[in-house]
A and B are shown apart, each in its own frame.
Chain A
Amino acid sequence: MKNVINSLGRLVPTEVPGVGAFMPYSAPFDRIAAMRGAAAAQKPLRAALPSRDKRAASLRAAIENSGLQDGMTISFHHHLRNGDAVIPMVLAELQAMGFKGLTFAPSSIPDAHDCVADYIKSGLINKLYTSGVRGKLGQLLSSGEVDIPVVIRSHGGRARAIEEGSIKIDVAFLAAPSCDCLGNISGCTGPSACGSLGYAITDARNAAHVIAVTDNLVEYPLSPKISIPQYHVDQVVTVESIGDPAKIATGAARITRSPVDLRIAQDSFRLMKAAEVVRPGFSFQMGVGGASLAAAVYLEEYMAEKGITGSFGLGGVGGYMAAMHDKGMFRTVFDVQSFDAVVTKSMAANPSHIEIDASWYANPFNAGALVNNLDCVILAALEVDTDFNVNVLTGNDGVLRGASGGHQDTAAGAALSIVVLPSFRGGVPSIKDKVTTITTPGETVDAIVTERGICINSRRPEITEAARKAKLPVIEITDLKNEIEKLTGVPKPIEFNYDKLLAAVEYRDGTLIDGVYAAK
């Protein structure tokens, strides 16, 4: 395997065996301009004879009808999160049917799905494309016990890979909270409702064969809302349950009481204010937990006080964003993934709560994803380095335990990208000389807000000046790093075996931004 050093100084392979050739990362937007006019992948025609009923007798029958063979690629969506029952159900059936060597290409893998690790060991799955890897699966891959190609992609990067043909989905299995006998699908209703089906829409459009798996077969036609129309769906399978509703909704997100998170949240909001992004018509994306969510509380208070209405909220949408939208603080919400039950209801009821697909959300190779229109995004991180590079994928021990998500996409697109994290966690500094794995390049990160100070990228002198003028606690990132290391001591960097690649980490444009290697 040949390796090269990319523009961020990271060792990346030029080819991942069984996957193909890769270019090294060079700059956030270079490749986009070069791609203009390039041909997209050819999509298979799905001409079907007229039919009044696409129901298959069973899951097994549907799989048999689909023409799935060993070595093909299967996809799933992760909108049902830890409540999802479809991934385990389908993988168990495929295993029972004796399939081998499939490429498993879900939009991401819910934390609870330890079964994926078992199916890698059994040989059912021998290639993995995903946004994130956590838990038992992360430990298995990091242990080096199994050796399968793994490619990590952002949500926008996955949409791009599917549309350009880097991921060729042979059969997409779509968990469908509501579905009729011809395959019109919605995520807004049904016992396993999950709101937006943003990632699934992209799969349905591009897969060679689509099987809807539902526990809520409704009278034809499904109405009033159809997320995935019947002409994208080949078969419908009815099962008892596609998920555990209690685990689908994460519940109304609680605002953190952690003083560290609250301080980070408050300073993030102050930075937004100082940078003058909170204007009438501004657009915003935030996380759904910790400091990122708490920042919205300060933001909401300010918007209410000043009578400011934003144009749109974007993202994975949680209850807090949905509530701000319902109160009229944002005119529109664009929702690629809904995080709790409240959001699902709001999406069904509120016409300006708009479901978007993954490509619309974040694909760098279309004529304009919504991330490009963000005025501000607040993003959490595992660690950052003095070049503002961000790691959301690997832990202090180098083990895979995170997800790329929409991090790279929103950081690149937003006018102001703020990364929030505590300056140390569990006694370990979060600011490193070099992050363990780069998932988001520092060139796209404007500010890092910790409880002990705000670091602003030197590429944005005007923000530094505004923050200093507002008397915010601005600090050079190397000074902050030194201050923290005085408290915690200096951890010894883990050593890696660079001959053993565990996962290739794509930038959203398909170049390799980093590799995850086995720890020595």
Chain B
Amino acid sequence: MKATRSMLYIPGDAPGMIQHAPIFGCDSILLDLEDAVALTEKDSARKMVATFLSRFDFKDLFVTVRINGADTEFFEKDLEAVVPCRPDAVRLPKCNGPQDILAADRRISEIEEKNGIEPGTVKLHAMIETALGLERCFETATASPRVTALTIGGQDFTADMGVQKTKEGRELFYARCRIVAAAHAAGVDSYDTVWADLQDNEGLLRESKEIVGLGFTGKACIHPSQVATIHKAFIPAEKELRRALRVVEAAEAAKREGKGVISVDGKMVDAPVVARSVHLLELAELYGIERGGF
């Protein structure tokens, strides 16, 4: 699957933005039915998102829909309207543990079956937004093969912890580390939370570089002007790329020659290192950096 560095939030009730989704340059979008939509407009946003999903060409964008939580009256209706339109994934807010995933998974499976959609088509992204959810995030990530990403909701998480969200983000440090480790352990993607200050792209770049360093595979954002900054943070360093290329070429050679052991510069290389090297080269391609170009 293509790497998704950026995920742009678009309110589900904002047709003027949704119609331009393919031109923002982001790798994925999130059509929001939850916090960005007023209680009185839940039905119109749901209708808007479903109509766009079934009639609009999002090109090669990865499209997710954030539905309302299972504890709301909108949860069922959201799934019923959205799943038949086959978004790439549904983002489930406030996942407190595997039971939330299993409940959603069951409902999605029923809807897929009823609509003749191959089971498992619509993926689930689990949002970790509470201390309890954080404690159970690995179980959440592994509760169903439908789960392909964990994502941290910074605003709600800090509220749940009773602390202030700051630009420095120390209050999220543990949660980020834990989520990103759980995601890697479960073999799923991980998305970092949004940067709220639209005027401060330097802060966004600093934070983005930090979360790339922690191992996140992507970061959410709230405005198209943030996309380029996030992508900048994901640019692999040339030195890293050269090493990755040597690893991948060695792995390819080993495979050709039927060797089980891969070695680079006389040192053995493990499978996870090969996987990371492949990922780096794929990332590089997104920046138009091709093999031999570094």
A and B interact: yes
Verify B288–A452 contact, CB threshold 8 A: no
Verify A471–B288 contact, CB threshold 8 A: yes
Which residues of B sit under 8 angstroms from A262, Cβ to Cβ?
224-225
Interface of B is mostly: loop
Which residues of B sit under 8 angstroms from A486, Cβ to Cβ?
57
Verify A259–B288 contact, CB threshold 8 A: no
**Bitwise interface map of A from 465 to 505 toward B, beta carbon under 8 Å scored 1, else 0:** 00000010000000000010011000000000000000000
Is A68 among interface residues, defined by CB-CB distance under 8 A? no
Is A263 among interface residues, defined by CB-CB distance under 8 A? yes
**Bitwise interface map of B from 210 to 241 toward A, beta carbon under 8 Å scored 1, else 0:** 00000000000000110000000000000000
Is B58 among interface residues, defined by CB-CB distance under 8 A? no
Verify B23–A263 contact, CB threshold 8 A: yes
| A451–B288 alpha-carbon span in the complex (Å) | 20
| A263–B26 alpha-carbon span in the complex (Å) | 12
**Shortest CB distance A283–B (Å):** 28
**Shortest CB distance B25–A (Å):** 7
**Shortest CB distance A9–B (Å):** 33
Is A257 among interface residues, defined by CB-CB distance under 8 A? yes
Is A260 among interface residues, defined by CB-CB distance under 8 A? yes
Is B20 among interface residues, defined by CB-CB distance under 8 A? yes
| A321–B24 alpha-carbon span in the complex (Å) | 27
Verify B225–A257 contact, CB threshold 8 A: yes
Which residues of A sit under 8 angstroms from B24, Cβ to Cβ?
259, 263
**Bitwise interface map of B from 82 to 104 toward A, beta carbon under 8 Å scored 1, else 0:** 00000000000000000000000
| A260–B288 alpha-carbon span in the complex (Å) | 22
Which residues of A sit under 8 angstroms from B263, Cβ to Cβ?
none
Query: How many pairs of A and B residues are in contact by the CB < 8 Å rule?
Result: 22
**Shortest CB distance B242–A (Å):** 23
Verify B19–A259 contact, CB threshold 8 A: no
Which residues of A sit under 8 angstroms from B288, Cβ to Cβ?
471
Interface size class of A (residues with CB under 8 A): 10 to 19
Verify B20–A451 contact, CB threshold 8 A: yes
| A395–B166 alpha-carbon span in the complex (Å) | 49
Cβ < 8 Å to A, chain B residues 218-272: 224-225
Q: Which of B19, B23, B224 contacts A487 (CB 8 A)?
A: B19
Verify A263–B19 contact, CB threshold 8 A: no
Q: Which of A257, A259, A471, A483 contacts B20 (CB 8 A)?
A: A259
| A510–B288 alpha-carbon span in the complex (Å) | 48
Q: Which of B23, B56, B225 contacts A260 (CB 8 A)?
A: B23
| Minimal Cβ-Cβ distance residue in A for B56 | A487
Known: A257-B225, A259-B224, A471-B288. A452 touches B23 (CB 8 A): yes
**Shortest CB distance B226–A (Å):** 11
| A387–B56 alpha-carbon span in the complex (Å) | 28
**Bitwise interface map of B from 5 to 45 toward A, beta carbon under 8 Å scored 1, else 0:** 00000000000000110111100000000000000000000
| A260–B225 alpha-carbon span in the complex (Å) | 11
**Shortest CB distance B95–A (Å):** 31
Chain B residues within 8 Å of A, Cβ to Cβ: 19-20, 22-25, 56-57, 224-225, 288
* Other A-B pairs beyond A259-B225, A260-B20, A263-B24, 9, CB < 8 Å: A257-B225, A259-B23, A259-B24, A260-B23, A263-B23, A451-B20, A452-B23, A486-B57, A487-B19
Q: Which 4 A-B pairs have the closest CB atoms?
A: A259-B224, A451-B23, A263-B23, A259-B24
Please list 22 pairs of residues, one from A and one from B, whose beta carbons are closer than 8 Å in the complex, sorted by A's number.
A257-B225, A259-B20, A259-B23, A259-B24, A259-B224, A259-B225, A260-B20, A260-B23, A262-B224, A262-B225, A263-B23, A263-B24, A263-B25, A451-B20, A451-B23, A452-B22, A452-B23, A471-B288, A483-B57, A486-B57, A487-B19, A487-B56
Chain A residues within 8 Å of B, Cβ to Cβ: 257, 259-260, 262-263, 451-452, 471, 483, 486-487
